[in-house]
Every structure is written in C-alpha cells, then in structure tokens.
Amino acid sequence: MIIEFLPRKIDPTEVEMGQYLFFYDQFINECDAISVSANPSGFTPLNTITGVLGWDRDIINKFAAEVNTRNEVGINNRVSPKLLLVPHVMNSTPQLRLAEDLFQACNAIKAKTLRFTHYGLILGSFPEEQLKSIMQYIINHEDELTLEKIYWDIDERFEKEINKLWDSLRTPVAPLG
C-alpha cells in the first residue's frame, strides 16, 4: 500500500478560529472514497468538502447526525467519491476502533484509493499516539485491505513529524547481536 501525505496549507485565520476553511481537491478524481469526520457544525472539513464537491448539504447533515447517533462509520454511496463519515470523536470512543471501522468500510465498498482528511488541521500538539495506532493498524492489516493508496491530508506544520513517524514504523528493526 502507498500512503502519500498531502501537506495542507494552513491559513493563519484557520488556526486563530480553530476552524477548517479551505479544502484542496487535488487527487480527488482519483479517489473511490473520501473519509471525513461527521461534524457538520461551523467551518468544518465536512461543510467545506460538501461545498467544494457540490453535495446536498441537508442530506449530508442528516447523514452526519445518523452516523454520530449510531457511533459507527457510515457509507454514502450516492455521492462521488463515496463518502465515509467517521463519528465526531468522542472521548468514550477509542480512536483505534474508529480506524478499524473506517478501513472495514473501505473493504465493504472495495475502495482502492482513499482521501483521508482527518488530520488536515491539527490544533494543539502533534497527535503521535493516535496517528501511530492508525498507522500500525494499516501495517498489520495491509494484506486484508482493498486499499492500494491513501492520500492522507496533514497539517503542513506537522509534515516532518508524520513522515518521521511513518518511516519509523515501516523500517524493519535490526535484530540484536
């Protein structure tokens, strides 16, 4: 599997507001699916992407509410690319379980290419443990996944950190002695 990190240019206003204002749609036509957090309130990735891709906002907002109520990844096959909504992260929901749900949803629709938007704007410090658990899941289940490529949005301020983390997990450890 190929993971291509897409450094997302951050506008200072986004950091100041703590809101996601812009979606850069490079490679979107190559993707079977796009994964987005089911947060329709305010200037969020979901609202921004809905506008850029011309989806019906009312339908997407109802779908987001349903996903959050069920607390599981939802699949919308009626838009292009297919929309995989991940419940708005709640403290009671383990991040790894949501990642597992997301990648199983990719398998269910036989997605080969995914646009993963969840870390395009990082407020606060680099979420190394969250990212590490997601990456380890991908590595450990790579042979079971239909995905061949992930375009992974990353806040440009953390490009070095994510590449370093991915490289450290992909590099085999030399045996001792």
Type and span of the H or E element at 54: none
Per domain, the residue ranges of the chain are 2-170
Digitized pLDDT (tens) for each residue of the chain, 177 residues in all: 999 999 999 888 888 887 777 787 878 889 999 999 999 888 889 999 999 999 999 999 999 999 999 999 999 999 999 999 999 865 445 677 888 999 999 999 999 999 999 999 898 999 999 999 999 999 999 999 999 999 999 999 999 999 999 999 987 655 565
Nearest-CA neighbor of 33 among 158, 129, 147, 176? 147
Distance CA 150, CA 120 (A): 14
Q: Decide yes or no: CATH 3.40.220.10 for domain 2-170.
A: yes
Cβ neighbours of residue 6 closer than 8 Å, sequence gap 6 or more: 24, 26, 27, 151, 152, 153, 154
Which residue matches tokens 């450094």? 7
